[in-house]
Amino acid sequence: MQSQRFYPPAHFSNAAHIKTLSEYTERYQESIQNPDAFWAREAQRLTWIRPWDTVRDVDFHDVRIRWFAGGQLNVAYNCVDRHVQRGLGQRTAIIWEGNEPGQSRKISYQELQSQIEHFAAALRGLGVKKGDRVCIFMQMIPELPVAMLACARLGAVHSVVFGAFSAESLRDRINDSCCKILITQDTGVRGNKQDIPMKAKGDLALRETPSIEKVIVVKRTGATIAMQSGRDIYLHDLLAEAPPSCPAEPMDAEDPLFILYTSGSTGKPKGVLHTTGGYLLHTALTHELVFDYRPEDIYWCTADLGWVTGHSYIIYGPLCNAATTVIYEGVPNYPDFSRFWQIIEKYKVNLFYTAPTALRALMREGDGWPGQCDLSSLRLLGSVGEPIKAPEWLWYHHMIGQGRCPIVDTWWQTETGGILISPLPGATPTKPGSATLPFFGVEPVLLDPSGKELHGEASGLLCLKSAGPGQMRTVYGDHERFKQTYFSQFPGYYFTGDGARRDEDGYYWITGRVDDVLNVSGHRIGTAEVEGAIGMTAGVAEAAVVGFPHDLKGQGIYAFVTPMQGIHGSTDLEKAIKESVRQHIGSHATPDKVQFTHGLPKTRSGKIMRRILRKIAENEPDAIGDISTLADPSVVESLIAERK
C-alpha cells in the first residue's frame, strides 16, 4: 500500500534551517564520511573553556565512546550565563504554567542565572563538589530545572527520579549511585490531586539510604510535613544563608552530567550515564534542526522532567539555544480537555512537542476542545515516545496544526540522549507513522536474528553502527552490563531493542520493542520488574507479564498469575497484587488486567513461553502456533477460555 505523503509547505521550507531533501542528504553524507570535520564545525556552537584534542574516539567492538576528549566546558554556563553575557538577559528562559489556570511565572535568563548560582552556592555550602551525585525527586516546578542546572554548574551529577515512583524505587536509585543529597518538595499538585506526598515518600526511602547526608525541601504547597532536624532543611532557609554567587566549574567533555534510570528486559533499572560535551552538542543541534528552532520562538515540550525527553528537550537542548521553554505542572485534562490548547493560545506557542498517548486521549474527547482555542501561533508539531499511528497523526495534522504545520515524529531512547531518526521539517516529506530518516551522524541498520545486515526494503532488528555524540557512555558503575545489554547480541553494533521496517524510500517505521520492555503511555516498564513486584504479594506463586494493545495507553499491562496451593484468585488478591506493584515500583506500572491461572505455559526445561501469553493477551488465539514443546499443552486452552 502506498502511504500518503505530506510535503513541507513552501513557506516553511523557504525559512527553514535545512530547506531541501538534497541539502539534508548532502550534509548527512558529510556527517558519515567525514564525521570529524562535521562535528568539529558543529561544536563551535558551544562555548569551550579549552578546545578538544580529539573529536571522536568511538569503538563499538571494545565499547569505548568518547567525544571531544581534552575539551573543557560547563553546561550551565552554556545554557544560561553566556546568553546573559550576549545581552539576552531579559529574554524569558522559562515560562512556568502551574496546575491551576492563572498560576504562572516567567523567569528571564538573568533571573535564571541568579537562581542557579544561588542554588549552586547553597549546594556547595553543604559540601557538594564535582563528581558527587545528587538525587532530585520533584514534580514539575521551576526549582527542578534550577536544581539540575545548579548541579551542572558545580559538576555534580544529578539523578532525577520521576515523581510517580514509589519510595522503594527511589531508595534503590539513591543507593545504586550513592547520592549524597536529596532535593524534594513538601507535597505536589497535579490535576485533581492536591497533596501528592513527595517529602513523605522521600522519608520512607531514606530509612535505608546510608549515603544521604542532607535533604533540601522546596516549599511548593506549604503542607505540614515532618522535618528531621540536622538532616532536612527548607530551600528558602538554606538560600538565606548562602552567598549569591558561585563560579561555574570547568568540566572535561567526558565528565558525567547526569544519570537517569531506565528499565530493560532483565534485572534492576540501569543508570544510564550521559556526559558533558557530546550530550549538550547533540541535544542543542537536534533541538535547532528537528524543531527548526528560531530565536524568539516559544517552545513547549509536554514531557515530564523525570524522563529523558524532559532533560534533553525541555532543559538542555532548548536552553543551550537560548530558547523560551514552557514547563507545565499539570495534566492534559485538568480542569478540562482544552488545557493544552489553552496554554498554546495563552503563550502563543510556536513549537509543540508531545506524545501519541496524550494525543489519543485528547482526540477521543472530540474536536470541540481544540476548536474553541486560537492555535494560529503553531508552526511545527512533534511526537515522541511510541509509534504514532495514522489516526492520531492525521488528527494532529488537521485539527491542531490546521494543515499548516509539519509533524516531526522523533525516534530515540534514554540511551541515545537525543533524537536519532526524524524528519527535518523543511526538508523531509513525511508519511504518517514513519519516523523517516536518520539524523546527522546516525547510521541505523536492520539485522536479521542471525546478525546479518539487511539491505533495501526490509524488516528487522534496529541496530546502530554509529549514533552521534549524545549517546550514553556506560551504565553507571557497571560497564560490563553496558556491553552485555547493548553490544553483545550483535558485536560491533548497538542494539536498540526495537524492531523496524525500512520502506522503498529508505524511511524507517518503528514497530516497537522486540524485548520484554513495555511502553505504557510512553512510560518504559520492564516486565521482569512488574513480575518481581507481583511475586512479592502474599498468596502469589508465580507471575508472567506481557503487553496488550490499549486504546489510550498504547500498551496495557496484562498479568498472568498463579496463586499458591490452596489460595483462590479472588478480587482481594487482585487488589493486593496491584497494591504491591504500586508499592514496589509506582502507580504508572499497575497492571490493567490480572488473570489467575493454575499454570503458565512452560517448556519442559521450565521456561515460560511469553509468545503464547502475548497472543492470548492480544486476543489472537489462532496465532498461537505450535504448542507441542510445552510441558503441559492443556494450560493453553484454559488460559484462552478464561481470558479477561
d(CA 328, CA 312): 16
Piece in contact with ligand 7RM (CB under 6 A), picked from 86-94, 286-294, 411-419, 478-486: 411-419
Whether 16 contacts 427, CB under 8 Å: yes
The reply on whether position 308 binds ligand 7RM by CB under 6 A is yes
The reply on whether position 413 binds ligand 7RM by CB under 6 A is yes
CA dihedral 82, 241, 145, 159 (to 10 degrees): 110
Among 411, 439, 494, 507, binds ligand 7RM (CB under 6 A): 411
Consecutive H or E run containing 367: none
DSSP string, 461-513: EEEEEEE-TTS--EETT-HHHHHHHHHSSSTTSEEEEEEEEE-TTS-EEEEEE
Residue from 600, 607, 610, 606 nearest 633 by CA: 600
Q: Closest approach of Cβ 418 to ligand 7RM, in Å? A: 9
The 10 Å Cβ neighbour count of residue 327 is: 24
Whether 386 contacts 419, CB under 8 Å: no
Q: Count interface residues toward ligand 7RM (CB under 6 A).
A: 23
Among 412, 490, 495, 596, binds ligand 7RM (CB under 6 A): 412
Q: Closest approach of Cβ 467 to ligand 7RM, in Å? A: 13
Indicate the residue among 47 and 265 with the shorter CB distance to ligand 7RM: 265
Piece in contact with ligand 7RM (CB under 6 A), picked from 101-109, 227-235, 307-315, 360-368: 307-315
The angle formed by the CA atoms of residues 78, 80 and 86, to the nearest 5 degrees, is 85
> Where in 428-457 is the site for ligand 7RM (CB under 6 A)?
435
Among 155, 306, 382, 387, binds ligand 7RM (CB under 6 A): 387
Indicate the residue among 246 and 420 with the shorter CB distance to ligand 7RM: 420
> Where in 474-503 is the site for ligand 7RM (CB under 6 A)?
496-498
What are residue 384's DSSP bridge partners?
410
Residue with cell 539510604: 209
Piece in contact with ligand 7RM (CB under 6 A), picked from 321-329, 338-346, 385-393, 537-545: 385-393
d(CA 420, CA 613): 32
Q: Which residues make Cβ contacts (< 8 Å) with residue 13, sequence separation at least 6?
A: 19, 20, 426, 427
Indicate the residue among 146 and 462 with the shorter CB distance to ligand 7RM: 462
Indicate the residue among 255 and 409 with the shorter CB distance to ligand 7RM: 409
| Per-residue binding letters, 563-602, with ligand 7RM (x by CB under 6 A) | ----------------------------------------
Piece in contact with ligand 7RM (CB under 6 A), picked from 13-21, 410-418, 436-444, 466-474: 410-418
The 10 Å Cβ neighbour count of residue 531 is: 21
Q: Closest approach of Cβ 346 to ligand 7RM, in Å? A: 27
> Where in 506-525 is the site for ligand 7RM (CB under 6 A)?
510, 512-513, 519, 524
Whether 460 contacts 446, CB under 8 Å: yes
Which spans of this chain sit near ligand 7RM (rule: CB under 6 A)?
262, 307-309, 384-387, 409-414, 435, 496-498, 510, 512-513, 519, 524
